[in-house]
Structure 1
Amino acid sequence: MADTPNAVGLARLHTVDVLSRWGVPPDVVETTRLLVSELVTNAVRHPQEGVEQVSAYSSRHTARTFELTLEMLWDAVRISVWDRDSMPPVLKEVGVEAESGRGIFIVAMMSRTWGCRPAVGMPGKVVWAEVGLLPIGHIGEDERAVRPLGRPPSAEPGIPRAGPASPNLLGRVLVGVREL
């Protein structure tokens, strides 16, 4: 996709369309849509270091591209966003008054696991997140019953699973997002 002002909205529409066709439960579709919005916003907004920033509406603006990939794993939906910027995202705690900087924090809180890796064979990085198809409290038992012996619980070896998010923390984040 081109990193134009409508890219985030188009990525959200595409996500809902694809996941609905795959029969993904509505609550997982909504969570995935939120994460796609945050990851694509980062790919569009955060420039490469040292590159002059020009408004997307300027005649000097050259559209760049990024790639959004949706994958259905046996127990999750994986979102991957490739962009040309090699700088990894920074997970930071932001105050309630902050006007930006919550994107990766929201990804970390709403996904069961997430990460960043250098792109293979091209410049930049891939930021990915997984949204579980099973309720958090039931993942362990269901995985043991279904997962083949020797298969790691996540498709990425060595990546820890996210624990249940604090309802107070999520509430503060949602209040802050609503105020934007």
Structure 2
Amino acid sequence: MNPAYVAFEGERRIAAGDLPEVVRTAKQLLDRRKDAAILVFNGHTSALVDIDYRGSVDDVLKRLPKPAAAPAEEPPAPAAAPRGPGRPRLGVVAREITLLPRHWDWLAQQKGGASVAIRKLIDEARRSSGDKDRTRLAQDAAYRFMTTMAGNRPHYEDAIRALFAHDRRRFAMLIADWPADIRDHAISLAHSDQAD
């Protein structure tokens, strides 16, 4: 399982863990070495995290972005309140979708109506494509990280091809001579679809 956040200073991984822990380590290094160039990555997506390192460690930590709440699979149970007539609140969000007339005709014939049919279709698609989605997200995260940290390394383009071709052996062989921390993190990201 990849850590929530990872910090690199050049070719060296200097911290991994939750964002405050990683930023604290990065700030302490920057206070010792003003010329240090530190990149902080989201450990799951490899998106770069912009950190304002001005001021003290406490100042930096106060300015950190607040973590987004993880989306719940099921809406939380509503607080026990006196119920009136009508349907209970289920956390349903109404939005507009565009379908062709034949789609609306098919949905109208489904038991429970269009909303129930669409929810069932989405749930089934999520179940059936879960492995493909995890693999795609792992490849995208590895690609983002490699592009940022190793875009000028030998065999970079061939390694990207091997990554997207699902050729793990060739991928590992092509990046074997990269700096250890970059290589190991790229492999960890590429294989993160196997964590579940």
Common fold by TM > 0.5: no
Structure with greater Cα Rg: 2
Instruction: Provide the TM-score with structure 2 as the length reference.
Output: 0.24
Instruction: Provide the TM-score with structure 1 as the length reference.
Output: 0.26
